[in-house]
Amino acid sequence: MIAQTSLQAYDREGMNSLRTDVYNLIRECNMLSNRDIANILHREPSTISGRTNELMEGGFIVPWDTKKDPITGRKVQVWEAIA
């Protein structure tokens, strides 16, 4: 588990507001894919993918499960916050 001080340090080092919004949404909601997050935040899925990749590389979120995307019919990754 990542300490709260680590999260605060990461924030001070340039965690932009969209990244913060994505992280908070993943932390508050279950089973969200990049498309779900994009729809909620009124952004493109590709924009959200970049933020989820940054959060995963920073150790703040992990892939949790998959679910069927209602638009494409493909299995998509859903996220879980670990910090």
What is the per-residue pLDDT for 4? 63
CATH number of the domain bearing residue 54:
1.10.10.10
The parent domain of residue 34 ranges over: 4-81
Neighbours of 79 (CB within 10 A): 27
What total of structural domains would you count in the chain? Answer: 1
What is the per-residue pLDDT for 30? 78
Average pLDDT of span 3-27: 74
- Decide which of 12 and 79 is more confident: 79
The yes-or-no verdict on residue 74 having pLDDT over 60 is yes
Task: Reduce the DSSP state of residue 27 to 3 states and report it.
Answer: helix
- Decide which of 78 and 13 is more confident: 78
What is the per-residue pLDDT for 14? 45
Task: State the chain's mean pLDDT as an integer.
Answer: 87
